[in-house]
Structure 1
Amino acid sequence: MTVRRDLKQLAEAGELRVVHGGASLPHGTLRTADFSSRAQHEREAKRRIARQATELVRPAATIAVDAGTTVFELVAALPDTFRGCVITHSVPVLQHMLHLPAARVIGLGGELLADSQALVGALTVQALTGLRAEVVFLGVAAVNERGLYVATDLERPTKLALMEAADRVVLLADHSKFSGSAPVRLAPLDAVDVLVTDAVLPAPAAEAAERAGVAVRIGEPAP
């Protein structure tokens, strides 16, 4: 049986897990670009978004920070004098917060997704119980007039829990997210309070955002 033999070889190499009736990718090996690769994509656009988004952060605010490269740029743009609290499940964000000694940091435990360098799952959701943030800064894989989308259902419960734990939801999405696609629907557009992007929205998304009452802010190039 050629297929069975091939599956066995791939499993022995750690490329997949054999399950009843088929096979699946092991956690942390989803075939998406890894964090460092994605961080370079549209980097200037992400920095424009980050600069605009920092205007929504009070000096002593409690903020929740999602995993993702655009959201990471927001944290990187926080001033050294930031003395608020950051709640996050992102390993790169946790590492960067070591450079902001005046801030308080709450790290959420969970299962590590290697590609996104995010901690997710039931433990992460449970850790959010009893926590409250003024605002969550959220990242997604794609967004359009039908809603927000993510790459895998492993991310979805944690992102939803972050949204539930915040008084306001701020979505950070560069222009490429409006022409992309992703398989898992996270939430409708009206779950977002503020959308920060780097360019004028496509007409369908702009009209949907207006109907949903989403405030749209566009980041400007650095002076």
Structure 2
Amino acid sequence: MLPAERRKEIIEVLKRDEKIVVDEVAAKLNVSPMTIRRDLQQLEKEEVLTRTHGGAVLGEKLTQEIPYDEKKQENTEAKEKIADQAATLIEDGYTIILDAGTTNMAIAKRLDKFKNIKVVTNDLLIASYLSQQEVDVYCSGGEIQKNTGACFGSAALRFFSELYADIAFVGTSAVDVVAGITTPTLDKAELKKRMLSAGEKKVLVADSSKFGKKSFAKVVDLRDLDVVITDSDLPQNLIDTINSEQESIKATIV
């Protein structure tokens, strides 16, 4: 295993368990404890983690996953406006993909005005809500993330590999003009990428608090999207950069 691959694995363990023990990780990766200590030293220099006696804990540099109940209380007005704008892209008879998250839940609550809509999602809460509406809803299944109700993993990946949709609405925790869309885990990054691939129109829905940030795993570059919908609190210099450097994207500010 290359050092870069090993360090990615270390970060994945940290994100899952919040801490690591040198000897345990060394045994899992079949390398010496000294090798792991050198990895931790390098990752600490990059501010990804903080070393402790015999191990490490996750640092504060990377944007991390926030529990659903906390997300639900953040930037609610912006998310409602984003959802209103997103709904203008939908037409009767469409099949749409809704990524997990509170902004996409807001979109889900605007689908009752459309006819013959199919919704595909990896979010148990969105699926549960839509099951009570006049909407055909399909849920990916897979491993369920604690505190969010989001499904991920190999089963979810296979599910989205076999689908086509008119629009894919994807959210994220971090957007950067250079780094693109990033997310806290490799599993989530791969799943979001698969969702976008399944959509004829690829739409990012993210409030302005997500911009100017980087997380661990790359999803896509901004130029791989068709539409970015965000709120008016996004700094003008970022709006100008997106519109000038990413000519293929339509940035919609609400």
TM-score between the two structures when normalised by the length of structure 2: 0.72
1:142-181 equivalences under 5 Å are: 142-146=174-178, 147-181=180-214
Letter aligned with residue 200 of structure 2: D
- Maintained 8 Å contact 2:122/2:150: yes
Letter aligned with residue 169 of structure 2: F
Gaps of 5+ in 1: 1-13, 26-30
TM-superposed deviation, 1:20: 3.4
Gaps of 5+ in 2: 1-16, 27-35, 37-54, 58-63
- Maintained 8 Å contact 1:145/1:209: no
Q: 1:110 aligns with which of 142, 160, 164?
A: 142
Letter aligned with residue 140 of structure 2: L
Q: 2:103 aligns with which of 64, 67, 70?
A: 70
- Maintained 8 Å contact 1:121/1:157: no
Greater relative contact order structure (CA < 8 Å, 6+ sep): 1
Aligned to 1:120: 152
TM-score between the two structures when normalised by the length of structure 1: 0.81
Distance 1:24 1:157, change over 3 A: farther
- Maintained 8 Å contact 1:193/1:215: yes
How far apart, CA to CA, are the structure 1 residues paired with 2:233 and 2:197?
28
Higher helix share: 2
- Maintained 8 Å contact 1:144/1:205: no
How far apart, CA to CA, are the structure 1 residues paired with 2:113 and 2:143?
30
1:1-223 equivalences under 5 Å are: 19-21=24-26, 32-100=65-133, 102-146=134-178, 147-199=180-232, 201-202=234-235, 203-212=237-246, 213-219=248-254
- For the aligned residue pairs, the C-alpha RMSD in angstroms reads 2.4
Letter aligned with residue 149 of structure 2: Q
Identity fraction in percent: 26
